[in-house]
Structure 1
Amino acid sequence: MTGENAASASTEWLSLPEVAELLGESVGRVRSMLDDRQLVATRRQGPLTVPSVFFVDGEILSSLRGTLFVLHDVGFTDDESIDWLFAPEDSIGMPPIEALRQGRKSEVRRVARALA
């Protein structure tokens, strides 16, 4: 299963207006969050969408931003970052997004840094 398929099978995809509503922000602010790498989105299915698992209790998963910076620093595109977050990672025993949601950000970022 490719990262895209794994991500598609395991999460709902939110449009930017849906993300804005979830966060209580404007769509313009959500676009700024994308520019600032607080979030990452893809256009694979047309308009920009964001995986719903990037949010916990109506907020962005706190460990996501730093992890996205690490992935960007090792040369990943936004789509590659999403793929990596959803793909099973043997060294942590689960997809990195699941580990992040469990509070295992140091482990996830260590593995991401090793990708360079």
Structure 2
Amino acid sequence: MTDQTPTSPEPSLEDLVGSWLTVPDIAERLGIPLSGVRRLIEERELLSARIGERRVVAVPEQFLLDEVYPYLRGTFTVLADGGMGDEEILQWLFTPDPTLRVPGTPVDNLAAGFKTEVRRRAMEQAF
């Protein structure tokens, strides 16, 4: 008899990110019209995913932090240029990596000011 330990399934993107904001929530928080939020998503200033039973468009709440937002577009571009789709990018940004300077996720490291390290890792990951 072999001892096979069941592997735990990877968390869903929705669970990995944790806290999401819908387009109306973002519009209210930023004080801009819904069309402005949709434009931010369309222009890849923010990435979104469809979440929940109703599959609503939502953005990770952490993307709206002042310490994170300025570094998103360039990081998205590096990962997309390496062939990652939006969901893969979101997955990578929110997957814990114990080898990063700040324990946690690449987004946590962006918030801590380590943009260069995160983008270097993104380049390595993407190629």
TM-score if structure 2 supplies the norm length?
0.79
Distance 1:62 1:42, change over 3 A: same
Which ranges in structure 2 are unaligned for 5 or more consecutive residues?
1-9
Larger Rg: 2
How far the C-alpha of 1:91 sits from its partner, in A, is 3.2
SS class of match (1:14): strand
1:18 is paired with a residue of what secondary structure? helix
Report the alpha carbon displacement of residue 78 of structure 1 after superposing the two structures with TM: 1.1
Q: Distance in 2 between matches of 1:15 and 1:48?
A: 6
Letter in 2 for 1:44: I
1:3 CA drift (Å): 6.0
Whichever residue aligns with residue 82 of structure 1, its letter is: L
* Deviation by residue 1:43-95 (Cα, 9 ceiling, x = unmatched): 132110011111125x9711111111111111111111111011012431431
Letter in 1 for 2:121: V
SS in 1 for 2:83: coil
Residue of structure 1 aligned with 2:58, choices 26, 49, 53: 49
> What CA deviation, in whole Å up to 9, does each residue of 1:13-39 have, x standing for no partner?
110011111111111111111111100
* Paired residues of 1:3 and 1:82 also in contact (CA < 8 A): no
Partner of 2:97: 89
1:112 and 2:122 correspond: yes
Aligned equivalents of 2:94, 2:106: Cα separation in 1? 6
Equivalent in the alignment of 1:102: 112
Query: Gaps (5+ residues) in structure 1?
Result: none
Equivalent in the alignment of 2:77:
69
Change (3 A) 1:28 1:60: farther
Mapped pair 1:15 → 2:22: yes
Q: How high is the TM-score relative to the length of structure 1?
A: 0.86
Q: Helix, strand or coil for the counterpart of 2:32?
A: coil
8 A Cα contact 1:2 1:87, kept in partner: no
Q: How many residues align?
A: 112
1:76 and 1:91 map into 2 onto residues whose CA distance is: 21
